[in-house]
Structure 1
Amino acid sequence: MINAYTAEDIRRLEEPYVTAETYDGSLMRKAAYGLYKHAAQLHEQRADSRILVLVGSGNNGGDGLYAATHLLADGFAVDAVLLGSRAHTEGLEAYKDAGGNLIDPDSLDPSAYGLIIDAILGTGARGGLRDEAATVVNRLRTETDRDILVIACDVPSGVDGNTGAVHQPVLPADVTVTFIARKVPHLSAAEHLCGRVEVVELGIEEDLAKYEPAVSRLEIHELRQAMVVPGPYDHKYTRGVCGILTGSEEYPGAALLSTQACVNTGVGMVRFGVVGQLASMINLRTPEVVCFTSSPEEQHVQAWLAGSGATGEARERDIDVALAASEPAILDAAAVARTAQWVSDNGVLETNNILTPHAGELEEFLVWMSALSYSTWHRVVGDEKAPTRAEIENDPLRWAKVASSLSGATVLLKGAVTHIASPDGKVLSVRSDAHYLATAGSGDVLSGILGGLIAQNEAQTKPAPTAHVAALASVIHSNSALLNNGGKGPTPASAIVDNIPTAIAYLLG
């Protein structure tokens, strides 16, 4: 498992070392040397150009100045621009002693540089770049579109090291060099701004065991452990049965996509609760699905999926059935907001239930929770109002955790980086580079994949953690999209569905 920590926890880890009477600055020197080595390696791609170091006021700027000193000693052409109210005294002195050149921000010519080292704001900074620093970065953001490489020191300046929240302007990095361990932005929504992350060890990493990761990512072998693979004595009922209560006459596509996605995970059986004329559509597209018109409570399943494309009174009742069921439920789309009302009346759900909102649906859920369950809201959030969609998108890690704490369920908050929060406070993230997934029906496919995997998991004597299965579903969803034209072209939801078996086969190796 790959772990990331808050900047505050890393600061606490470092504190006994840097405040000791005998401390000699060795941690900064090691960090700066690691930054220098990675900068020198990256500069090989722009060998005939100069290097520009953007220097802030704090220790991040000190790392940049010491790294620049090493680069000068190796014969690189380096300029530095000071963008803070002060500069790290010893670092600046070392840089000047090495013959380093300081340039005025107003005379900066971005076209002269092939590599920029962003050492303005570190993980301890709050808020974004201001004044002259913001002006310079805004200029450079335009120029980096013209093939200038960027290496960030710890995090790209303007990205919060504790939450991953992004305060523009931010200079996107090709490489981020961080120290001791990954920080929250490296595994959360800001990850796409960080580029490739390189961790430089400083010799105190054993102390990380004292701290809980803020966010983690499963590695391939852990994803495989969450996958159920049938054996010679399995049959359709030991493979899991998923009950699906999705779609409506208004949105039949949600039913078609979610049922076929579920079938394509290899689940033993899919039972579909019919409304209107959906049965004929379902069976023409996916004849393996068993349709039923009786009450959902009469069905024997290992998991429920409800909410996707669900409109009308019949589907509203179906969502309540899924919420009340003893089996776990995947609660998508319309079921997300309904969950807030359910929780206010009946109490929190079990952890093995999964909410699957996008940011807009989570906004609605949180608005309902703040209105209907004020005491619970106040206990978890305090006096703060429910966030807007934009606020959720800027700090998804926090709001996924809040939603999980309020509901008792596991919350899968969809995005280019998906955050999966459990009520115990742990969070997993899944990165997707399949940006064509942002299309109608894609979420219905994900919910179907998740329903199939949860049903299979619940049929096991030792099921995997719910959050791990949710992460697996997100990976399969993303990989299924990438299989379509190598992820380089439009990927309609129906094409994602068709690729699910192949994506699972590749994942199993």
Structure 2
Amino acid sequence: MRYGHSVEAVRRAEGALMARVPEGALMQRAAAGLAAAGADLLGRVYGARLVVLVGSGSNGGDALFAAARLLRRGASGTAVLLAPERAHGEGLAAFRAAGGRVTGADGGAGVIAHADLVLDGITGIGGKGGLRPEAEPLARAARESGAAVVAVDLPSGVDADTGEVHGPAVHADATVTFGTYKPGLLIDPAAERAGALRLVDIGLDPAELGTPALEALQHADVAALLPRPTGESDKYRRGVVGVAAGSRRYPGAAVLAVSGALRGGAGAVRYAGPGGAAVLARHPETLVSTGSPHSAGRVQAWVVGPGLGDTAEARTAVDDALAADVPVLVDADGLRLLTPEAVRRRTAPTVLTPHAGEAAALLGRAREEVEAGRLRAVRELAARFGATVLLKGSTTLVADPDPERPVRVNATGIAWLATAGSGDVLSGLTGSLLAAGLAARDAASVGAYLHGLAARLSEVPLTALDLADALPRAWRNVSE
């Protein structure tokens, strides 16, 4: 599991550690890790040209000490001081002693144009808002240069706690972060500016960091959660998932949701709705009925919403599913047909799976506002509906209705998932995991992980059916 901790938690743990170690030890540990990462990116340190962008905080000190280490290995370097009177004194002295040159912000763009490596030490994890006017041209010059840009702890100009970007920010090729991941490194739009992530252990105590704000599953975590049949299993003991999806106008949504459900670990799939002929043509093993969910037979979870439309039959399907005393996943058209009150009345778990546009409609906001503040939006939706919310997008987030539980972020998704029907497959897959017995938060997290991994294992451009067909490979990849 990867964990992301808030700025407050990091500062608390750093303060406790600094009281136990010699003065400056933490900065030297950070600088050593940063220098090693820079050397790896350069490949050959001797003769390399290095530029350090130095602000007034300790990140500037980390960058200066790291640069001094690289200069002692034969690199040449220039420090661009954005606030010369507030630059880290000891770091600057070490950099100069190693042969480094110093210039002001006005001369920065010229030296950046000839750099092989740029270290971004402009602001630290406490920075708020975008880059200041004097720093923006330097960030732009770094991006336009051929240099590798490495952010120190996080790209300057992004919000460490939320992943929001309120103005110009550094675009890094890699970010070297210290002690623990910061939530902003894992959530877009900030995550896309962070590049490849490298975590340097500086000795922070997990107990002093406390409960993380964010966590990301990895292969071992997903493997431990996957449902597996035993010798005593039969199709009903493995769970039956019901799918109420599709319509006469959109029968494909039914096929795609059922395709995902059949690959999700449950023992059987019941389909209820007008798309039965299309479903049976693709998946003859499906148990099909033409009525509403209420009359479809016993299930351990329902998936309702993809392709339903906005008809009386669609409303009945959503109402029937929500009335069932089993976990329910609501997606797509179903999200427009429910209210917070209807969800909060339920005693069984509910999972909502909106994309940014649907989330915006549920919150009464603009889509752009949701995309700019994804963490805030998913937490608010979970609190408002009392449900587990999977917010789809460039970084998929899963929030529990309990605000004390960390939000989960999925790191396996790729841009090719932005294809028609992809979300229908995810809904079926996640609903099947619910029917197989996973808790709502785990089912949503594992579903998103396998969904993204299946896309990575598919040939691109991919279609939604390609994605469903690749799910067994994703499952096997995780298990083995």
TM-score bracket for the superposition, by shorter chain length: over 0.9
Amino acid at match of 1:470: A
Of 415, 428, 431, 1:448 maps to 428
Partner of 2:279: 282
Cα deviation code 1:318-362 (max 9, x no counterpart): 1111222211111101222333x2x23573545731110111111
Match of 1:310 in 2: 308
Q: TM-score normalised to the size of structure 1?
A: 0.87
Give the SS at the match of 1:202. Answer: coil
1:375 aligned residue: none
Match of residue 123 from structure 2: 121
Corresponding letter in the other structure for 1:500: L
Find 2:457's aligned residue among 471, 475, 483.
Answer: 483
In the TM superposition, 1:375-390 aligns within 5 A as 387-390=365-368
Name the structure 2 match of 1:194.
194
2:375 matched to which residue of 1?
Answer: 397
Instruction: Tell whether 2:442 aligns with 1:468.
Output: yes
1:4–1:213 contact (8 Å) kept in structure 2 = yes
Which of residues 346, 349, 354 is equivalent to 1:352?
Answer: 349
The alignment-based identity, stated in percent, is: 37
Change (3 A) 1:45 1:453: farther
Contact 2:222 2:446 in 1 (8 A): yes
Q: Structure 1: state its 5+ residue gaps.
A: 368-386, 458-463
Unaligned runs of 5+ in 2: none
2:85 aligned with 1:82:
no
Instruction: Tell me, yes or no, if the aligned pair for 2:176 and 2:200 is still in contact at 8 Å.
Output: yes
Which of 453, 471, 476 in structure 2 is aligned with 1:500? 471
Contact 1:246–1:255 (Cα < 8 Å) also in 2: yes
Output the CA distance in 2 between the equivalents of 1:56 and 1:260: 53
Is 1:227–1:469's contact at 8 Å kept on the other side of the alignment? no
**SS, match of residue 228 in structure 1:** coil
Are residues 77 and 138 of structure 1, via their aligned partners in 2, closer, same or farther at CA, if it must alter by over 3 Å?
A: same
Cα contact 1:262–1:270 (8 A) shared by 2: yes
Q: Report what 2:397 is aligned to.
A: 419
**Following the alignment from structure 1 to structure 2, what is the Cα–Cα distance between the partners of residues 96 and 346?**
63
Query: 1:256 & 1:48 partners in 2: Cα distance?
Result: 60
**How far apart are 1:23 and its partner, in Å?**
6.4
Q: Flag the 1:466–1:347 CA change in 2: closer, same or farther, 3 A.
A: closer
Given residue 36 of structure 1, which amino acid in structure 2 is its aligned partner? A
2:239 match: 240
Cα distance in 2 between the residues matched to 1:90 and 1:398: 39
Q: 1:484 to 1:159 in 2, by over 3 A?
A: same
1:429-455 Cα deviation digits (max 9, x unpaired): 111352111111111111111111211
Which range moved further: 259-268 or 98-107? Answer: 98-107
8 A Cα contact 2:343 2:387, kept in partner:
no
Change (3 A) 1:21 1:217: closer
Contact 1:64/1:153, CA 8 A, preserved across alignment: yes
Counterpart-to-counterpart distance in 1, 2:305 and 2:194: 35
Q: What are the superposed Cα offsets for residues 438-485 of structure 1, whole Å, 9 maximum, x if unpaired?
A: 11111111111111121112xxxxxx4321221111121112222222
d(CA) in 2 for partners of 1:9, 1:351: 34
Contact preservation (8 Å) 2:252, 2:278: no
Aligned: 1:301 with 2:299: yes
Supply the distance in 1 between the matched residues of 2:163 and 2:268 (Cα, whole angstroms): 41
- 1:326 maps to 325
Structure 1, residues 90-133: CA drift from partner, whole Å, max 9, x if none?
32233233332013444433341111111111111011102120
- 1:52–1:113: 8 Å Cα contact kept in structure 2? yes
Distance 1:233 1:423, change over 3 A: same
Report the equivalent of 2:334. 335
Helix, strand or coil for the counterpart of 2:398? strand
Aligned equivalents of 1:350 and 1:138: distance in 2? 52
Q: Which amino acid aligns with 1:362?
A: A
Deviation string for 1:364-392 (max 9, x for gaps)?
A: 1112xxxxxxxxxxxxxxxxxxx432222
2:138 is the counterpart of 1:136:
yes
Q: Describe how 1:205-284 pairs up with structure 2 within 5 A.
A: 205-206=204-205, 208-209=207-208, 211-275=210-274, 278-284=275-281
**2: CA distance between counterparts of 1:242 and 1:474?**
18
C-alpha distance in 2, partners of 1:219/1:15?
30
Alpha-carbon separation, structure 2, partners of 1:350 and 1:396: 27
Q: 1:450 to 1:116 in 2, by over 3 A?
A: same
The DSSP-based 3-state class of the residue aligned with 1:182 is: coil
8 Å CA contact 2:246–2:308 kept in 1: the answer is yes
Shift of 1:210: 5.0
* 1:284 counterpart SS class: helix
Taking a change above 3 Å as real, the CA distance of residues 349 and 53 of structure 1, as seen in their structure-2 partners, is farther
* Equivalent residue pairs, number: 472
CA contact (8 A) 2:45 2:75 kept: no
TM-aligned CA deviation for residue 171 of structure 1 = 2.9
Amino acid at match of 1:3: Y
State the distance in 2 between where 1:21 and 1:228 align: 45
What is the Cα deviation at residue 259 of structure 1? 1.0
